[in-house]
């Protein structure tokens, strides 16, 4: 192997930091500990990379995820060995399921102690292998520049994902005067997948013979930076679009062709279109079961074209007649610039758009208690649909998906695949650090908030003026909703009988806070969101509130419950009168 002489001797830790800096990394999220002391010593006074001190390693990973998801850059995390490493597992798995580019450095005990149950030792590579795109354990200090460069490349190219680097303490301590060639050596890794032109022309030919085409816009559109191309394609052919949760914003809500989110808590129009379509073109969605519900009956009468950068996604859930492995941006550019094929589906488009108007997302407006949907709508108005919306996981997440008027790519930062409670607070911090000029609003439930609210300590410390909107229903709303619907209303362990005083908690962290309970004054009070300071706004809602409509798990997409038709053909379903504020 080619060796490169260094001008001065450098420690492994210095090599890590200098390589990261050369790669363009300017921020890392982390938490120190024994095995990482050498690296933290090198961080002390190192210029050009800001270190954000999380309060829990899980927080550090979600912060890096929020940063990466909202910016497209690689999020970098540094934690220590053993418990530091295992605390990152949830975040790494979250990043893996949502294809988030992350570089996670975990400390490791010295090489001589590995495998001997040393203090704070865990087999981190073994633990994280199934939830990472790749994982390394650095055994030779001279390999650090190559491995870090390779890992960074793997994390953000092709289908992005988390890459783990396990760094034994002695490897990071040793000083070397020469390094191994840092050139990337991944002969079998194909980062760029070029579309097969024949397959793309098949996609267009099928469009010309179909009567009821439908586009699914997935999170891959964001990752491929292909929003413009997608919008151009839709406009060119006037095809209606179903968004996935992670695809929201790629086609603006105000675009008439946008039918809204599809699937379990998706719109009536989207779910009906999925059932009625004779041709489904999936751009960068992995046919998650929250969208597809029942794969054996999904798109029964449709030809399916699926474009994804990862070949393993094609045909995984839904039988695909036109599979295309490609970078989405490139594929869409070719599709948009190709000669226009003749199409005839005006009738279809009119029909699905009529469904959109016939059964929009809706809720009853009442005077007794705040409806979370309305609060989100107001916030949408005040922020002109332009804020970065971060959510935790649960009912509020689905309301935020349904009622905020998204218009930009990478605008909704949420845990899609993994559904990680506790994602919200740290992810919002990461998103704000990536976009200091953007308004970042976090919707979080009282359940998930209690999982990572220690990260609030960062808001003042680093001047991160996010707005935390705590939608408090004093329960695990989604769990409770399922118990009410499918478990004979046995609310087993889903209601919090005792909760902390969240106002005092915010006070403890020194951030502005207020509690809103009156629906009559809510609209006015929410205007406080325009203030550029960190704040916690607690909104008390009814404990009986449910997310509707709903396609029960495993049902067909048209077996959708809780739909309200504007022409009054069905009754509204929503929060019952049984209001129970704890």
Interface with another protein: number of residues (CB under 8 A): 18
When asked if residue 186 is in the footprint of another protein (CB under 8 A), the reply is yes
- State yes or no: residue 188 binds another protein (CB under 8 A): yes
Say whether 538 sits in a helix, a strand or coil.
Answer: strand
Residue 390: strand, helix, or coil:
strand
CA 87 to chain CA mean position, Å:
19
- Please indicate whether residue 169 is annotated as part of the active site: yes
Stretch of 172-180, 245-253, 306-314, 559-567 contacting another protein, by CB under 8 A = 306-314
- Determine the Cα–Cα distance for residues 166 and 104; give it in Å rounded to an integer: 8
Q: Whose Cβ is closer to another protein: residue 224's or residue 370's? A: 224
Residues in region 139-158 near another protein by CB under 8 A: 154
Nearer to another protein, 41 or 196 (CB): 196
> Is 318 or 526 the residue whose CB approaches another protein more closely?
318
Stretch in the footprint of another protein (CB under 8 A) among 90-98, 164-172, 181-189, 504-512: 181-189
Instruction: Yes or no: say if 369 and 579 are a contact pair by the CB < 8 Å rule.
Output: yes
Residue 57 a catalytic site member: yes
Pick 127 or 544: Cβ nearer another protein: 127
For residue 134, the minimal CB distance to another protein (Å) is: 5
Q: Verify whether residue 120 is a known catalytic residue.
A: yes
Q: Contact 16/39 with Cβ under 8 angstroms?
A: yes
The helix/strand/coil state of 298 is coil
Cα dihedral sign, 266-272-274-275: positive
Determine which residue in the list 16, 242, 245, 314 makes contact with another protein, applying CB under 8 A: 314
Q: Is the bond leading into 549 cis (omega within 30 degrees of zero)?
A: yes
Number of residues in the chain: 582
- 27-30 β-sheet, strand order: 50-53, 27-30, 75-79, 102-108, 162-168, 134-137
Choice from 297, 316, 435, 491 touching another protein (CB under 8 A): 316
Query: What does the block give as tokens for 163?
Result: 């890459």
315: left (phi over 0), alpha (psi -120 to 50) or beta: left
CB-nearer residue toward another protein: 24 or 130: 130
Does 126 interact with another protein (rule: CB under 8 A)? yes
Complex with another protein: residue 139 or 490, whichever CB lies closer: 139
Of residues 134, 382, 462, 565, which one binds another protein by CB under 8 A?
Answer: 134
Task: Provide the minimum distance between the beta carbon of 178 and another protein in the complex, in angstroms, as a whole number.
Answer: 23
The one catalytic residue among 10, 69, 133, 169:
169
Burial of 512 (0-12, 13-18, 19+ CB in 10 A): middle
Q: Which of 56, 69, 133, 231 lies at the binding interface for another protein (CB under 8 A)?
A: 133
Residues near another protein (CB under 8 A): 125-126, 129-130, 133-134, 137, 154, 186-189, 310-312, 314-316
């Amino acid at each position: 192997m080619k060796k490169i002489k260094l001008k001065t001797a450098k420690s492994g830790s210095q090599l890590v930091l200098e390589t990261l800096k050369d790669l363009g990394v300017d921020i890392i999220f982390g938490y120190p500990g024994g095995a990482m002391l050498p690296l933290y010593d090198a961080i002390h006074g190192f210029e050009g990379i800001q270190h954000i001190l999380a309060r829990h390693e899980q927080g550090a990973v979600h912060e890096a995820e929020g940063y990466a998801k909202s910016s497209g850059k690689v999020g970098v995390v540094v934690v220590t060995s053993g418990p530091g490493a295992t605390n990152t597992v949830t975040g790494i798995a979250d990043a893996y399921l949502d294809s988030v580019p992350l570089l996670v450095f975990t400390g490791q005990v010295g090489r001589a102690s590995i495998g001997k149950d040393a203090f704070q030792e865990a087999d981190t590579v073994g633990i994280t292998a199934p939830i990472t795109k790749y994982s390394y354990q650095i055994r030779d200090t001279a390999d650090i520049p190559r491995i870090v460069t390779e890992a960074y490349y793997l994390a953000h190219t092709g289908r992005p994902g988390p890459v783990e680097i396990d760094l034994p303490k002695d490897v990071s301590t040793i000083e070397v005067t020469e390094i191994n060639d840092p050139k990337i050596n991944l002969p079998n890794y194909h980062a760029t997948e070029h579309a097969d032109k024949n397959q793309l022309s098949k996609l267009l030919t099928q469009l010309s013979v179909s009567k009821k085409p439908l586009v699914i816009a997935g999170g891959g559109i964001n990752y491929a930076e292909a929003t413009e191309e997608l919008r151009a394609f839709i406009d060119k052919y006037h095809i209606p679009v179903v968004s996935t949760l992670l695809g929201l914003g790629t086609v603006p809500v105000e675009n008439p062709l946008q039918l809204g989110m599809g699937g379990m808590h998706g719109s009536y129009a989207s779910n009906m279109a999925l059932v009625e379509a004779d041709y489904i073109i999936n751009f960068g969605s992995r046919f998650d079961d929250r969208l597809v519900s029942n794969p054996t009956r999904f798109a029964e009468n449709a030809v399916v074209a699926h474009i994804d950068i990862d070949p393993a996604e094609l045909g995984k859930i839904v039988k695909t007649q036109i599979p295309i492995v490609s970078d989405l941006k490139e594929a869409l550019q070719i599709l948009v610039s190709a000669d226009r094929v003749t199409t005839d589906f005006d009738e279809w488009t009119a029909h699905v758009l009529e469904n959109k108007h016939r059964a929009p997302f809706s809720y009853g407006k009442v005077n007794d208690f705040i409806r979370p949907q309305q609060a989100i709508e107001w916030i949408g108005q005040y922020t002109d649909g332009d804020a970065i919306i971060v959510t935790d996981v649960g009912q509020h997440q689905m309301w935020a998906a349904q009622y905020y008027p998204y218009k930009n790519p990478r605008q909704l930062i949420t845990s899609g695949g993994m559904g990680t409670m506790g994602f919200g607070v740290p992810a919002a911090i990461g998103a704000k650090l990536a976009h200091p000029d953007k308004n970042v609003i976090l919707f979080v439930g009282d359940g998930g908030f209690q999982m990572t609210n220690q990260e609030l300590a960062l808001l003042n410390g680093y001047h991160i003026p996010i707005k935390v909107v705590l939608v408090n229903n004093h329960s695990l709303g989604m769990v409770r909703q399922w118990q009410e619907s499918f478990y004979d209303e046995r609310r087993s362990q889903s209601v919090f009988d005792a909760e902390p005083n969240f106002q005092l908690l915010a006070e403890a962290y020194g951030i502005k806070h207020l509690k809103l309970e009156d629906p009559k004054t809510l609209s006015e009070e929410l205007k406080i969101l325009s203030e550029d300071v960190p704040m916690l706004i607690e909104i008390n809602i009814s404990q009986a509130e449910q997310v509707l409509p709903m396609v029960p798990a495993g049902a067909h997409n048209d077996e959708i419950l809780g739909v309200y038709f504007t022409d009054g053909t069905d009754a509204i379903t929503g929060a019952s009168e049984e209001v129970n504020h704890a």
